[in-house]
Amino acid sequence: MMRKGSSSALRVAAPSASRFTRVPLRSFSSTQPTSSDLDTAAFGEQHIAKGIGRLTKHVFEEGKGTFITTDKGVKLLDLTSGIGVVNLGHCHPKVSAAAAAQCNKITHAQVNIGFSAAQIALLKELIPILPHKSLDSVFLWNSGAEAVEAAVKLARNATKKPNIIVMQGSYHGRTNATASMTRSKTIYGEGHGPLMGGVFATAFPYYSQFGSATKDTPKEDLVNEALLQLKLTLQQQTSPADTAAIILEPVLGEGGYVPAPPEFLQGLRKICDENNILLIVDEVQSGMGRTGQMFFIEESGVRPDILIFAKGIANGFPLSGIASSKELMDLQKPGSMGGTYAGNAVACAAAKAVIEVFREEKILDNVAARSKQLFSFLQDLKSSGTKAGNLIEDIRGKGLMVGLQFAHPELQRGSSNTASKEAKVQPQIAPKVVQECVNRDMLLLSTSVFDVLRFIPPLTISEEELDQACKIFKESLEAVAKDL
């Protein structure tokens, strides 16, 4: 997720005779490297698909709360939460205990064969916390991308219309269908076409996506421009009669950690209602308490027709799903949905425990306190007048989903002496800061084609742990600033 692919053309070497020389079975097997022949990371690098981008070469062996320990005994402070997955920290004792107990009952209660007791127990906890009472029917799957595809299937079936509108900067997955819907980076679909058709992109109210805008552009202007672009999309690219749904992340994830203003979400709802279009809200990353509410869409009061959730729902166990009204869900014929591992019993037991922990341990109260602590630190650093502080262009987000955008001093937006051609080739600051953090045993991620860092610590992080993280970040940024 962190690295861009090469733009060079694919080159296929001509086969050599020696490459295809038959080797006796005994000789072949005796020459293969084993885990004892190679360092563990080197073995993984040799045998795991190269298409996986990777932040470090650490081999993670154990996780506890906010920390990960490697096979070399290195203890890492984790501000990634497995990209927003272990919201309750690594191996939360209650979640782990619930999963272990389920393993001794039934691990694979196949949903196309019968009802799963673990799944039904989860739904009794989940449905009451969904952001609107109309979301009373749920389909569970395994990954976020699968859930997005389930939402698209439901929307097309319910409306009998083919097209989908997505937001510029969006991230919805890497499968063939979801890569076609992703607009944060081209790497996810590059070289894999043809991708799914019927997908059209429109503007998101994010200043970096408008050439004439800056971080100081009034929010109202960005919202109005984005809604205007959507109306033009419906007039010029895909008519309402052909458009099944508009899908968006209410907080752009991979696209730069940008919360959508309530006015924009309300405007989307109005346009959808006027044109018989479904509104799909993708809360794969922003859901399950990450923004300080169970789901970010709650803040705007907007009703989604379909809600997508995954990541933090089961704290590391593969589980995702969509929620909609029974009226919409019942339009699908039995057999049109399902999956071998859909709504796995162990993952469901873990997810039920996750919801209980949110209640019992008052997780959202900690999110509010730690969010205030993090924003205060970052704002103080930005206004410090130091070289490091001057590199910070924008700080944004909600709860513990926080983005920080950089700009080189000579590239500040609005500067009259910016050399535009030179500006475009300046290396990003965020990846350098990330590497400095890794050097100091802290995991942090950059994101988007813009120069953005994302802070995604576990929602259980303590005041002391966050203070330690802030100190490491400050040291890392100062080290990068010194060389600019």
Give the pLDDT confidence of 444-478 residue by residue, as tens digits. 999 999 999 999 999 999 999 999 999 999 999 99
pLDDT per residue as tens digits for the range 48-67: 999 999 999 999 999 999 99
Average pLDDT, integer, range 207-230: 95
Please provide the average confidence, as pLDDT, over all residues in the chain. 91
- Residue 168 sits at φ, ψ, to 5 deg, of -60, 130
How confident is the model at residue 440, as a pLDDT? Answer: 98
pLDDT per residue as tens digits for the range 290-302: 999 999 999 999 9
- The answer to whether the CB of 456 falls within 8 A of the CB of 81 is yes
Fold classification of 363-482 (topology level):
Aspartate Aminotransferase, domain 1 (3.90.1150)
- The answer to whether the CB of 342 falls within 8 A of the CB of 348 is no
How confident is the model at residue 293, as a pLDDT? Answer: 97
Average pLDDT, integer, range 428-448: 97
Amino acid residing at 433: V
- The answer to whether the CB of 407 falls within 8 A of the CB of 391 is yes
Q: Please report which helix (H) or strand (E) contains residue 179, including its range.
A: helix 176-181
- Check whether 409 has a pLDDT greater than 80: no
Name the pLDDT band for 30 (thresholds 50, 70, 90): very low
Closest CA to 484 of 428, 424, 444, 415: 428
pLDDT per residue as tens digits for the range 180-208: 999 999 999 999 999 999 999 999 999 99
Report the alpha-carbon angle 72-463-309, nearest 5.
80
Q: How far apart are CA 176 and CA 93, in angstroms?
A: 37
- Residue 471 sits at φ, ψ, to 5 deg, of -65, -45
Closest CA to 216 of 207, 224, 205: 207
110 burial level (CB within 10 Å; 0-12, 13-18, 19+): middle
- Domain 93-360 is found in CATH 3.40.640.10: yes
Domain boundaries, the chain: 93-360, 363-482
Name the pLDDT band for 425 (thresholds 50, 70, 90): low
Tokens of 370: 């730690």
How confident is the model at residue 157, as a pLDDT? Answer: 97
Which ranges in 211-299 belong to alpha helices (H)?
Answer: 219-236, 262-275
- Check whether 34 has a pLDDT greater than 80: no
- Check whether 419 has a pLDDT greater than 80: no
How confident is the model at residue 37, as a pLDDT? Answer: 54
- The answer to whether the CB of 314 falls within 8 A of the CB of 90 is no
How confident is the model at residue 5, as a pLDDT? Answer: 40
How confident is the model at residue 211, as a pLDDT? Answer: 84
- The answer to whether the CB of 41 falls within 8 A of the CB of 58 is yes
Name the pLDDT band for 408 (thresholds 50, 70, 90): low
How confident is the model at residue 426, as a pLDDT? Answer: 72
pLDDT per residue as tens digits for the range 102-137: 999 999 999 999 999 999 999 999 999 999 999 999
Higher pLDDT, 245 or 36: 245
- The answer to whether the CB of 433 falls within 8 A of the CB of 445 is no
Average pLDDT, integer, range 422-427: 59
How confident is the model at residue 226, as a pLDDT? Answer: 98
Q: How far apart are CA 148 and CA 72, in angstroms?
A: 38
Angle between helices 363-382 and 345-360 (to 10 degrees): 70
How confident is the model at residue 212, as a pLDDT? Answer: 85
How confident is the model at residue 414, as a pLDDT? Answer: 44
Q: How far apart are CA 264 and CA 204, in angstroms?
A: 9
